[in-house]
Amino acid sequence: MGPYADLWGSDILGRPHVGVDAGVKYFPMNNGVIDIEARTHHNPLFNGQYVYLNALGIPIKQLYRVESFHHNYGPEMFD
């Protein structure tokens, strides 16, 4: 039993932990200046989905955001 077995369980090193990040960019004006980017993040502690309006690759407006955290660990873990 490790020092964090009460938080993570005794089999923390025996399970694979994989994080996945995927995204799509859409250029509505076909000019490369304005784009809409949708991203999703998944790992054992956090899931999130975002949609941004970008200008020259820089986010200027967040259009959509949904996040969920593991029930034992909240958003303060990522602050």
Mean pLDDT of 43-61: 90
14 pLDDT more than 80: no
pTM equals: 0.63
In this predicted model, what pLDDT tens digit does every residue of 18-46 receive, in sequence order?
778 899 999 998 888 999 999 998 887 78
Average pLDDT, the chain: 79
Residues 8 and 28: beta-carbon distance below 8 Å: no
Residue of 61, 41, 38 lying closest to 50 (CA atoms): 38
Residues 52 and 67: beta-carbon distance below 8 Å: no
What is the Cβ-side half-sphere exposure of residue 39, based on CA atoms within 13 angstroms? 14
Determine the pLDDT at residue 79.
Answer: 47
Residues 25 and 19: beta-carbon distance below 8 Å: no
State both tokens at 29. Answer: 């004006």
